[in-house]
Structure 1
Amino acid sequence: MQIQPDNTRKRRFFGRWFARRATACVVVCPFLALLDACTSPRYRWVAWVAAGWGGLQLTLSLVRYLTGCDDERNYL
């Protein structure tokens, strides 16, 4: 059994963490867009949700990547 370097392990954890969050965003936002189109066709509130969630994703990803957080030492 080969022991992986700490940097490789952190990148793997970051990739998994980011993929989970991105998948959730990609699944939920189209559902909200459909709900928005059915309930209030004049005002597109889903754009605010997508922009806010995307901004949060970007900010958390940068913080987590730059600080070297992993699943064992989660600082967020």
Structure 2
Amino acid sequence: MKILYSSLRELTPDQRNLLAEKYRVKKQPYIRDDVLAEKRGLSLSEYRKVRNYIERRLHPIILKNNEKYEDEFRKALELTRN
């Protein structure tokens, strides 16, 4: 979770809100794109274009943070073994 939350902090508040509307639901299935597009006053294709842009932007950030925290995790394990 640390990787996800630290990655999300690198997005703008509006970008985080859009992803939260889509994915932060108590149970699946996720809210359909057409419902969220209408809520935001966008066409379905516009909404998907924006969401896909944000998800593509988030992906390399997650990979970078994964490497960062993987290093920290490995170092912490080494400390506990000594």
Range into which the TM-score falls when normalised by the shorter chain: 0.3 to 0.5
Give the TM-score, by structure 2 length: 0.37
Structure with greater proportional helix content: 2
